[in-house]
Amino acid sequence: MIDKIGMFFICTGILFDFFGVLGLVRLPDVYNRLQAATKCVTFGSAGILFGVFLIQGFNSFGFKAILGIAFLFLTSPVSAHAIARSAHKSGVPMADVTVVDQYKDDLELKGD
């Protein structure tokens, strides 16, 4: 029974991995790609690790999987934040459908 629940988590994780990668290919500019990729791929890999933990149980193997989940949730938003900030500062243009950019307005106010 617990094996089937673990396989369900693994299959859901792989499905979300695929959606995230599809978003990485389809969306128009850097920031949107970063959104889709960071959220979906992090959730998918965490799902795979949780399924492995459910199948293996509380031995050293499963503990490593739990440690991996905690590590993914701590590091992946930080690296997304760093990449987005440096892309905006180095002047990567936003897509044509962009509505508003209040960050750029505030930076220009500070510069004056």
For 51, other C-beta atoms within 10 Å of its C-beta total 22
**What's the closest the beta carbon of residue 105 comes to other proteins, in angstroms?**
9
CB nearer other proteins, residue 1 or residue 55: 55
Helix, coil or strand: residue 77: helix
∠ CA 78-16-44, rounded to 5°: 50
**What's the closest the beta carbon of residue 107 comes to other proteins, in angstroms?**
9
CB nearer other proteins, residue 1 or residue 16: 16
**What's the closest the beta carbon of residue 5 comes to other proteins, in angstroms?**
14
